[in-house]
Amino acid sequence: MGLEGVEPSSFMADFLAGCGGYAVVDGGLATELERHGQDLNDPLWSAKCLISFPQLVRRVHLEYLEAGANVIISASYQATIQGFEAKGLSIEEAETLIKRSVEIACEAREIYLQRCAKGYWDFLDSPKIDRHPVLVAASVGSYGAYLADGSEYSGNYGASVTLETLKEFHRRRLQILANSGADLIAFETIPNKLEAQAYVELLEEENIDIPAWFSFSSNDGTNVVSGDPITECANIADSCSQVVAVGINCTPPRLIHGLILSIRKVTNKPVIIYPNSGETYNGETKQWEKTRWETEEDFVSYVGKWRDVGACLFGGCCRTTPNTIRAISRVLFDKSS
């Protein structure tokens, strides 16, 4: 199937062409911070490091760039004004930290591009760097992420949470991220139709002038985690001209193939996929449980198949590492593999 039938926006078409046809997205940010020793058992999860260890956030972004990522995603997934206020920060401090998450990613890109220009990476065992385009995507995690109990994997917010609740929850952070220097907004781990609809309305009402991608999560391969069909969710994303890619993240690799096929039935926008390792998150203990173990080799062996059914942007989510991203890059671009 390849790219046949895909109608990318000029933004995405130019970017994909500059990358060589396909783009590599980074891997898990929070779980990589944990691998570097950070304890993220906190309501702010990865956003905690924006306060306590921003240098490490920049270093992990750089590690993903070195591994071949063309897109890095900021540490704003669980960085919310409401979450920072609950920690005793002022609104001004919260807004500064949200903006800072994108600035840190931009700094990593700057360092990386300078090192590329000096030929620095030629000395490292990394994929040959001849694909320079690098985008910084500003992460927007769901309302369920802010709840900090793994609710983004149920999408069940109860009847009291309405479309208006979600729009008001997300409005100010979206305005800040849209003016932060990010190239696009990454609406990630979207658990239900209602939140997708809220994002579409906010993009329009707030006249957000950078593009966005919508990425949903699923645990059955047919519906997003709330039970809403992926086709209906992708339809909502398709209805918004600012959305330049639609896809799936933080979902077991074995479910991705069918989800790509379903998404492609309802949209010609480029498909982005960045699955997790296949482990299951326990929101109470904040630990990953190996309910069904899929190895990194399994993950990487799927990449060519995902490309063949029409995905254009490939990366990893929780518990994937720079090694995963390096392997994806090799599958997509290394002619010898």
Ligand X SMILES: N[C@@H](CCS)C(=O)O
- Pattern of binders to ligand A1LUD over 252-281, x per CB under 6 A? -----------------------------x
**By C-beta, is 6 or 47 nearer to ligand X?**
47
Q: How far apart are CA 337 and CA 325, in angstroms?
A: 15
Neighbours of 289 (CB within 10 A): 10
- Per DSSP, helices labelled H in 143-287 are 143-147, 163-178, 193-205, 230-238, 256-266
Does residue 148 bind ligand A1LUD (CB under 6 A)? yes
Known binding residue 318? Answer is yes
> 317, 325, 327, 332: which one contacts Zn ion (CB under 5 A)?
317
How many CA atoms lie within 13 Å of 170's alpha carbon, on the beta-carbon side? 34
Determine how many CB atoms are found less than 10 A away from the CB of residue 335: 5
Cα separation, 302 vs 315, in Å, equals 12
Q: Does 189 bind ligand X (CB under 6 A)?
A: yes
Choose the stretch contacting ligand A1LUD; rule: CB under 6 A; options: 47-55, 142-150, 251-259, 326-334: 142-150
What long-range pairs does 98-101 form, CB within 8 A, spacing at least 24? Answer: 98/173, 98/176, 98/177, 98/180, 99/176, 99/177, 99/179, 99/180, 100/50, 100/54, 101/47, 101/50, 101/57, 101/74, 101/75, 101/76, 101/138, 101/139, 101/180
Binding of ligand A1LUD by 283 (CB under 6 A): yes
Q: Which does 256 bind (CB under 5 to 8 A by kind): ligand X, ligand A1LUD, Zn ion, none?
A: none
Part in contact with ligand X (CB under 6 A); list of ranges 24-32, 89-97, 157-165, 327-335: 24-32
Q: What is the DSSP letter of 223?
A: B
Nearer to ligand A1LUD, 199 or 333 (CB): 199
* 38 touches ligand X by CB under 6 A: no
**Nearest distance from C-beta of residue 135 to ligand A1LUD, angstroms:** 21
Which of the listed partners (ligand X, ligand A1LUD, Zn ion, none) does 188 bind, with a CB threshold of 5 to 8 Å by partner kind?
A: ligand X
Whether 315 contacts 69, CB under 8 Å: yes
From 44, 318, 327, 328, residue interacting with Zn ion (rule: CB under 5 A): 318
Backbone angles phi, psi at 194, to 5 degrees: -60, -45
The minimum distance between CB 320 and Zn ion, in angstroms, equals 9
156 close to 195: Cβ distance less than 8 angstroms: no
Annotated binding residue 19: no
The answer on whether 250 is annotated among ligand-binding residues is yes
Query: Should residue 250 be labelled a site residue for ligand X when binding is judged by CB under 6 A?
Result: yes
Q: Which amino acid is at 28?
A: G
163: number of Cβ within 10 Å? 12
**250 in contact with ligand A1LUD (CB under 6 A):** yes
Residue ranges of the annotated binding site for Zn(2+) are 250, 317-318
> Which positions touch ligand A1LUD (CB under 6 A)?
45, 78, 145, 148-150, 152, 189, 250, 281, 283, 286, 318
> Which positions touch ligand X (CB under 6 A)?
28-30, 46, 73, 77, 139, 188-189, 250, 317-318
